[in-house]
Structures are given as structure tokens and as C-alpha cells.
Chain A
């Protein structure tokens, strides 16, 4: 096992473990902190994959800005004192856990049948030709330019909708 694989497995297991911890903690603040850890490990995996620019974005945007917003909202709304479990009753727990295990077994069975693809280095020539930012920017503003514009409209709609629901105005 090469060093790069070792690093990958370390961060991959860290990501899985911290996301499991995130959904099992009772306090939302702890959950948010474990989410930060998950996103950081994903950023590290991006670095392993030679996607340095994406890794930087991941840290700055997700682990940085968005998570800070989460924490602000949690603290402002003073959440975290109502410890009501999502799954009520032992029966629901058993059924939900059983279905989850069956799905997991299916995915494992499905993926164990997949043959390993030979490693092809697609990233290095791309990075040499365009640099880390160009490799992200070119598809974003050429092939997927429509998707980019639609995302802008989508965010606008979300904003308008939030204002409509939040602001009580009498006609």
C-alpha cells in the first residue's frame, strides 16, 4: 500500500466516522463541529486527488463560511435543549435499522461485483495545460454555462421565497 493510499484511507475513514458522529450527537453544536471535521477530511481527499483549487474552496466556503453560519443560527435560535429522539419506539428503531442494513448489504454486494478499472491519470495533463483554476473555470463557464446561470436564478428564488415566508405583511 503506497503512502497516497494510506493517506486516502485515513481521511476517508475520518470522514465516515465524523459524519456518523455528526448524526448521532444530541447537541446541534457538536453535530456542526463534526460536520466541519467531515468537510475538512473531504478537502484532504481532494488534495490527494490533485484538485488543490477545489480543496481550497472546500475549506474556505464549506468548512469556513457556511459552517460558521450554521453555528450562528444554532446559537441565535438557542437550539439544542429539546432532546426528543427522531425515531420513537423500539419497533421503529428495529425496522429502520433493518432496512438500512439491507440497503447497505445490497450496495456492498453490488459494488463487490464491479471490476477494478485500470488507473488512468487524467488530471495531470489537464493541470499542466490549464493550471488548477483554469481546469475548474473552463468547463464551468463553457460547457456548463447554462447550469451556472440557472443556479443564479435558483438562489434568487430561494431568497425571494425565504423573504415571503418570513415577513408577515398585511394586505
Chain B
């Protein structure tokens, strides 16, 4: 099918996955409101939301066969969008699977939990799809509004409410930066359409207004992807949020923000690379070094994983700053690996924490390897992958990012990445050492993990190992989906110019 945006109706086809998800979420709201069963509607709505995600994935698959006329439509139809959409939908499905136990245990088994999650996914899919600054802003807000509420979802827990409020205030603050930057870029280019902006804005002829817009956009995005020094909200928000949603925040929401980040900076402003690469270079360096050092002294496993997720944003920034095709392919590959290993790790953490999230210290994990071998083995696998050791997806992903950054002429970033990874081994392995080489102080009660949670953990583990052992097929797919997005010839000369400058 051909999509031509001169016909307004074609927006409907171009946004079919989003539309499917919105309609399903609205229907689920009605189901939730009129539920008559003896038990609450939570479980049923949760299962139906899995169906909704599957339908959206089918619509997304259908998009593969759709071609678009021109590259200036407000909605992009390219395989970059379709690939990231699959990541968002998969992460959401895994989050729903690990949520069932948690919401029942913590007494927050409301249908709205899953419905807001679906709306959050719609926002992310818009972020990946939009080729218009206004739509990108609306996607951010849609994603964030749902996320603020879900962070504060444990209403009787003051920690969760505090996290929600902090996240809301900082999120609103960062949105102000974003929208101001977008306004300045609109002022400089006369349009909000990224496809048109890409043709209008050429290097060498950059107005102060455009420079201001790019700076403000960088700050806004740095907040959204929690890059250092704009990361201070992250550990608190991650610690207070319901654990399954923390997993979702650390993976899908970060991926959504990164998708738009790349859509604006690498694809639309690719020719202006020399203007933005310096500031993002520093962001990437700080984001790789600082959280890895702070994580060394963390005792709470949720905070530890939060700092680890900030550090991983730094690795993804390295892939972004490379701004070549292998950089974007490695970004997509790493995103898949990072998503499954992080969700898997949080799933185990939420099982072990027990009612009211009591057991979250690393001390509480001592001896786990002998009393509960399966959860311990799974957690060890995910931590090894997060640390980036073979034979897991994390290792291959980091390897590809290193290669892309060297190809793009950033060997210093590659060196810093390698050192940051070495530092991170300490705190990941500390948990593993505690599980296998210490004796339990107080034996854990019997763990309750239902079939759905085990399924999710098994899927995460399988994908983590698969990406580590047979990476060529997923990498090929990632490479195919970014083909032709970046203007290769001009970019190569750019990066050589930068190298020569130094």
C-alpha cells in the first residue's frame, strides 16, 4: 500500500498500530468501569491488555509492507520506527506479565494500571514515528503523564507518592526546556516538520536562534533520558515506583526518549553534527563515569539498578553520537539486549522483595544461590549481561557500540566506555558474590512466582542468551532497519573534519 499524506485519511493507515492501541485502551476503560465480577477487574484487564498489545504488534507488522510518498509527512513510515515499536510492545508485554503477582501482592490490583501502561506505549510509539516537533512533544507528554501516575500508583505508600511528585515536577521542568527549544527551532526554520528542516538547515549557515534551540533541546532530552548531570530525579523515582513499572521506566520509557532523540538529532540534524556533538560528547562521558562510581556504594538493589540504568543511557549516547549507520544499528541491538536483561533483573528483584518490598538490600541476597537456585541463577545471568560479559547479549551489544564509535572517529569515547564497564563489574559481581559465597543470615520464605512471571523471566533469559550466542540475525535486522536514514557520504566527511580539527 502507498501512503500519501495529501490525503488526510492516510494518516489513519500510517498510525494504525497507535490507533489500535488507543481504541483497545478506551474499550478496556469501559470494561473496567462496568465490571460486575466478584473479584476486581484488574486481572481480566491485564490479560486483555496483552491481547491489545498483540493486535498492535500485528498492525505494526502490517506496516512493513507499506511505502510512503516523500520524506516530509508528519508521520514517518520506516523500518526504524517499526523496529523500535516492536521493542516498546515487547517491553510492555513483559511488564504486564511481571505485574500480575506484584499488583495482587501490594493491593494495587486496579484495571487502570494496565490501561495507563497502554497509553504510555502509545506515547512512545508516537515518539518513534513522529517527524513533526509538535507531535514529538505531544508524544512525550502522553508518555510522561501516564508514567507520572504509574510512579505514584501505590497510593498508600508515601515513598511512591514522593517519587511520583518528584518525577512530575522534574518532568514538567524538562518539558519546558524541550518546548522552548522546539519553539526556537521553529523560529529559525519556519516549520516544525523535521523532513523539511533537514533540507533547510545546512551546516555553515546556522543562526543564533537555531543554536539556542539545539542547546535547549539537548538539555530537555538529557533530562528525559536521565543523562548526568540531569539525572538526579532518576534514583528516587525508580526506587519509589512499583517495581514492575520501574523495569518499564528503565527500559521502554528511556527507549522512547532515545527514539525521538535520534529522530531529531541524528536523522534531521545529521548535517549539523559538528554543532551538537561536543555537548553530547560531554554528556556521554559524564553519564558513563558518574553513575558507575555512585553505584559502587549502593546497598539497595533497586537503587543500584537505577544507577546502572543511568550508566547504560551513557553507553546508548555513545551509539547516538557516532551518528552513522553502524551506530544506529548498534543502538537498536543494544536496546533489545538492555530491555530484556533489565526487565528480567527487576522481575527477580520484585519476587525476592516479598510483601511491601521489604527485602531489597544486597545483604538480603546472601546465600540465595543455595536456598533458591533458580531465581539466583537467572539474576546472575541478567547481571552478567548488564555487566557486559560473554556469552550474553550485553557483551555483543557493547562490542558493537565500541566498533561504531571507533568507526565514527571517537576512539576516546570507546576507551572511556571500556573503563566504565570495568568499574561496573565490581557492583554487579558484588551481588553475585553475595548470592553464592555468603551464607544466608535469615532464610527467605518460600518465593511466590506465578506462571506468568516465570514465562517473562524465561523469555528474557532466552533472548539474552540468544543475542549473545547468535547475534548475526538480529544485528542484520537492526542494520536493515536503519539503512538510508543517515546521509552517509556527508557524514563521513564531517567526522573526518572533526578528527582533523582535533
The 19 sampled A-B contact pairs (Cβ below 8 Å) are: A110-B212, A111-B208, A111-B209, A111-B212, A114-B207, A114-B208, A143-B74, A150-B126, A150-B135, A150-B138, A150-B139, A153-B142, A154-B138, A158-B145, A161-B116, A161-B145, A164-B153, A168-B156, A171-B107
Whose C-beta in chain B lies nearest to the C-beta of A163? B112
Instruction: Please count how many residues in chain A sit with their CB below 8 Å of the partner chain's CB atoms.
Output: 25
Q: How far is the CA of A170 from the CA of B109 in the complex (A)?
A: 9
Contact B42 A171 (CB under 8 A): yes
Contact A154 B15 (CB under 8 A): no
**B residues in contact with A144, CB < 8 Å:** 74, 134
Contact B11 A146 (CB under 8 A): yes
**B residues in contact with A153, CB < 8 Å:** 22, 119, 122, 142
**B residues in contact with A143, CB < 8 Å:** 74
Of A111, A158, A160, which one neighbours B112 at CB under 8 angstroms? A160
Whose C-beta in chain A lies nearest to the C-beta of B208? A110
Of A114, A157, A160, A165, which one neighbours B155 at CB under 8 angstroms? A165
**B residues in contact with A142, CB < 8 Å:** 8
Contact B116 A157 (CB under 8 A): yes
Q: How far is the CA of A144 from the CA of B75 in the complex (A)?
A: 11
Q: How far is the CA of A147 from the CA of B153 in the complex (A)?
A: 28
Q: How far is the CA of A48 from the CA of B55 in the complex (A)?
A: 51
Whose C-beta in chain B lies nearest to the C-beta of A152? B22
User: Does B148 sit within 8 A of A, measured CB to CB?
Assistant: yes
Instruction: Please count how many residues in chain B sit with their CB below 8 Å of the partner chain's CB atoms.
Output: 40
Contact A160 B115 (CB under 8 A): yes
Contact B208 A157 (CB under 8 A): no
Interface centre among A110, A158, A171 (most CB of B within 10 A): A171
User: Does A129 sit within 8 A of B, measured CB to CB?
Assistant: no
Contact A164 B142 (CB under 8 A): no
Q: How far is the CA of A144 from the CA of B8 in the complex (A)?
A: 10
Whose C-beta in chain A lies nearest to the C-beta of B18? A150
User: Does B152 sit within 8 A of A, measured CB to CB?
Assistant: yes
Whose C-beta in chain B lies nearest to the C-beta of A107? B212
Contact B208 A164 (CB under 8 A): no
Q: How far is the CA of A50 from the CA of B74 in the complex (A)?
A: 28
Q: How far is the CA of A19 from the CA of B216 in the complex (A)?
A: 21
Q: How far is the CA of A144 from the CA of B135 in the complex (A)?
A: 9
User: Does B20 sit within 8 A of A, measured CB to CB?
Assistant: no
Q: Mark B92-123, 1 if CB is under 8 A from A, else 0.
A: 00000000000000011110100110010010
Contact B15 A146 (CB under 8 A): yes
**B residues in contact with A88, CB < 8 Å:** none
User: Does B149 sit within 8 A of A, measured CB to CB?
Assistant: yes
Contact A146 B109 (CB under 8 A): no
Contact B211 A110 (CB under 8 A): yes
Helix, strand, loop or mixed for chain B's interface?
helix
User: Does A130 sit within 8 A of B, measured CB to CB?
Assistant: no
B112 to chain A, nearest CB (A): 5
A sample of 11 more A-B contacts (CB under 8 A), given A145-B8, A153-B122, A165-B152, is: A150-B138, A150-B139, A154-B138, A157-B119, A157-B142, A160-B29, A160-B112, A160-B149, A161-B116, A161-B148, A164-B153
- The residues of A with any CB-CB pair to B shorter than 8 Å are 107, 110-111, 113-114, 142-147, 150-151, 153-154, 157-158, 160-161, 164-165, 168-171
**B residues in contact with A160, CB < 8 Å:** 29, 112, 115-116, 149
User: Does B40 sit within 8 A of A, measured CB to CB?
Assistant: yes
Of B11, B141, B145, B208, which one neighbours A113 at CB under 8 angstroms? B208
Q: How far is the CA of A161 from the CA of B142 in the complex (A)?
A: 11
Known: A145-B11, A153-B119, A157-B119. A169 touches B145 (CB 8 A): no
Q: How far is the CA of A146 from the CA of B211 in the complex (A)?
A: 29
Contact B110 A171 (CB under 8 A): yes
User: Does B364 sit within 8 A of A, measured CB to CB?
Assistant: no
Q: Which of B232-255 contact A (CB under 8 A)?
A: none
B63 to chain A, nearest CB (A): 16
A43 to chain B, nearest CB (A): 19
Q: How far is the CA of A142 from the CA of B301 in the complex (A)?
A: 50
User: Does B377 sit within 8 A of A, measured CB to CB?
Assistant: no
Q: Mark B156-172, 1 if CB is under 8 A from A, else 0.
A: 10000000100000000
User: Does B325 sit within 8 A of A, measured CB to CB?
Assistant: no
B442 to chain A, nearest CB (A): 30
Known: A145-B8, A146-B15. A157 touches B145 (CB 8 A): yes
Of B22, B112, B134, B139, which one neighbours A164 at CB under 8 angstroms? B112
Whose C-beta in chain B lies nearest to the C-beta of A115? B207
Q: How far is the CA of A40 from the CA of B143 in the complex (A)?
A: 32
Q: How far is the CA of A160 from the CA of B40 in the complex (A)?
A: 18
**A residues in contact with B116, CB < 8 Å:** 157, 160-161, 164
B202 to chain A, nearest CB (A): 17
Of B115, B122, B126, B209, which one neighbours A114 at CB under 8 angstroms? B209
Whose C-beta in chain B lies nearest to the C-beta of A159? B145
Whose C-beta in chain B lies nearest to the C-beta of A166? B155
**A residues in contact with B138, CB < 8 Å:** 147, 150-151, 154
A160 to chain B, nearest CB (A): 6
Q: How far is the CA of A42 from the CA of B128 in the complex (A)?
A: 34
**A residues in contact with B146, CB < 8 Å:** 157, 161
User: Does B132 sit within 8 A of A, measured CB to CB?
Assistant: yes
Q: How far is the CA of A143 from the CA of B134 in the complex (A)?
A: 11
